[in-house]
Amino acid sequence: MDRLQSMSVFAKAVELGSFSAAGEALRMSSQLVGKHVQTLEQHLGVRLINRTTRRHHLTEAGFAFYERVKIILAEVEAAESMTAIRDGIPRGCLRINAPMSFGIHALSKRLPEYMAAYPEVSIDLSLSNRYIDLIDEGIDVAFRVGELSDSGLIARTLAPYRLCLCAAPSYLESHPPISHPNDLVTHECLGFSYTELRTRWTFTALEGEVTVPVSGRLMVDSGEALLMVARAGMGLLLQPSELVKEDLVAGRLIEVLSEYPIATRPFHLLYVPDRRMTPKLRSFVDFAVAAFGIHT
């Protein structure tokens, strides 16, 4: 087996936590992933990963090897990128991170357009609602919702992230009416992990911004999971407009407090400032700003 490819497969298995996940990402069987790792172990004469039926754990040698492999693969990619920089043609693998709901309901619908325009670029898209360190996780570009910390990353401003408050007809029929944001204090509000939306919701009223403390019995880190629960009448849902618009049209959900607009959240595209602005990165940044930026 090609040793460089085996290193790449090994690194992917470490990053994703299992042979099966790495195989799915690389479009190969988990058995072939295991064969690549086994070949490396035989060549090095050490075990890299302790494998059990449930989990994989890096050995001490495996951790040290992984740290070196990351550097090697990054250098190989940088060397390959030099040709692309010289001829100005976007090519290579672009690693993108995005929030789950945005990635599923907005970004994935536009990616075919980008990939058709740049046929020599491949996409490795990871969807996660947790905080991602672009440098540590080898991400080229990331979409991020919310206020930015002083991370040292370059940020391109996109159109504000719009949210919608809604609930199933069955919930609204069986609970007290809601005529002002303060009424939400006594209602079951479905919580979204990782953000301030888990404990407080902010609205725009005649008296200015109104921030309401909210609570509920359920806290989930997935907007799609919260949507299923909201459809079942379990509480009020505050999620991105693109996630709930089909349910609103179908009548499965009803918008609540539409006369009190939800305060929008900042939305940015981030990338590392000292990373060489390769044609593939520049092409995607331009595409994303055109697709999801502020249009006047």
CB 230 within 8 A of CB 236: yes
- Out of 43, 63, 87, a domain closes at 87
Q: What pLDDT score was predicted for residue 230?
A: 96
Q: What mean pLDDT, rounded, does the chain reach?
A: 87
In-domain check, residue 280: yes
- Residue 214 and residue 197 share a domain: yes
> Are 116 and 63 found together in one domain?
no
Split at pLDDT 50, 70, 90, the class of 253 is very high
Q: Is the pLDDT at 296 greater than 60, yes or no?
A: no
Res. 193 pLDDT band, cuts 50 70 90: confident
Residue 289's closest CA among 274, 271, 272, 275?
Answer: 271
Let me know if residue 273 belongs to a domain.
yes
Angle, in degrees to the nearest 10, between helices 19-26 and 30-44: 110
Locus of tokens 């009416």:
177
> Tokens standing for 34?
């295991």
Encode pLDDT of 255-269 as tens digits. Answer: 999 999 887 788 999
How far apart (Å, rounded) are the C-alpha atoms in residues 295 and 232?
36
What is the pLDDT, as a whole number, of residue 279? 87
* Average pLDDT for 221-247: 92
Supply the range of the domain harboring residue 42.
Answer: 1-87
Task: Please indicate, yes or no, whether residues 49 and 190 belong to a single structural domain of this protein.
Answer: no
Is the predicted pLDDT of residue 185 greater than 70, yes or no? yes
Give the CA distances from residue 37 to residues 28, 57, 60, 94, in Å, rounded to whole numbers and listed in that order. Answer: 13, 13, 15, 24
Residue that is last in its domain, among 87, 119, 144? 87
Regarding whether 195 and 144 lie in a shared domain, the answer is no
Q: What DSSP string runs through 158-210?
A: -SPBPEEEEE-HHHHHTS----SGGGGGGS-B-EETTSGGGTEEEEEETTEEE
CATH value at residue 201: 3.40.190.10
What integer pLDDT is reported at residue 274 of this predicted model?
62
Contacts of 29 (CB under 8 A, 6+ apart): 23
The last residue of a domain, from among 37, 52, 87 = 87
Are both 80 and 92 inside the same structural domain?
no
Query: Is 126 within a domain?
Result: yes
Q: Does the pLDDT at position 167 exceed 70?
A: yes
Distance CA 91, CA 293 (A): 24
pLDDT band at 173 (very low <50, low <70, confident <90, very high): very high
Domain contains 67: yes
* 284: its two tokens: 């995607």
Do 276 and 227 touch, CB atoms closer than 8 A? Answer: no
Q: How far apart are CA 3 and CA 48, in angstroms?
A: 15
Question: Does the pLDDT value for residue 275 go beyond 60?
Answer: no
Answer yes or no: do 196 and 210 share one domain: yes
Whether 44 and 15 map to the same domain: the answer is yes
pLDDT at site 27: 82
Contact 271, 83 (CB under 8 A): no
Same domain, yes or no, for 9 and 73? Answer: yes
Q: Are 135 and 206 in a shared domain?
A: no
> Do 82 and 106 sit in the same domain of this protein?
no
**Residues 101/242, Cβ–Cβ less than 8 Å:** yes
How many independent structural domains does the chain possess? 3
Residue 279 lies in a domain: yes
Mean pLDDT of 183-198: 87
Across the range 207-223, mean pLDDT stands at 88
260 lies in some domain: no
Phi, psi of 162 (to 5 degrees): -95, 135
In a domain, 179, yes or no: yes
pLDDT at residue 76 in the model = 78
Q: Same structural domain for residues 42 and 108?
A: no
Asked if 146 and 271 sit in the same domain, the reply is: yes
- Among 20-34, 79-93, 124-138, 274-288, name the one with the lowest average pLDDT: 79-93
**Cα pseudo-dihedral 273, 277, 278, 280, rounded to 10:** 80
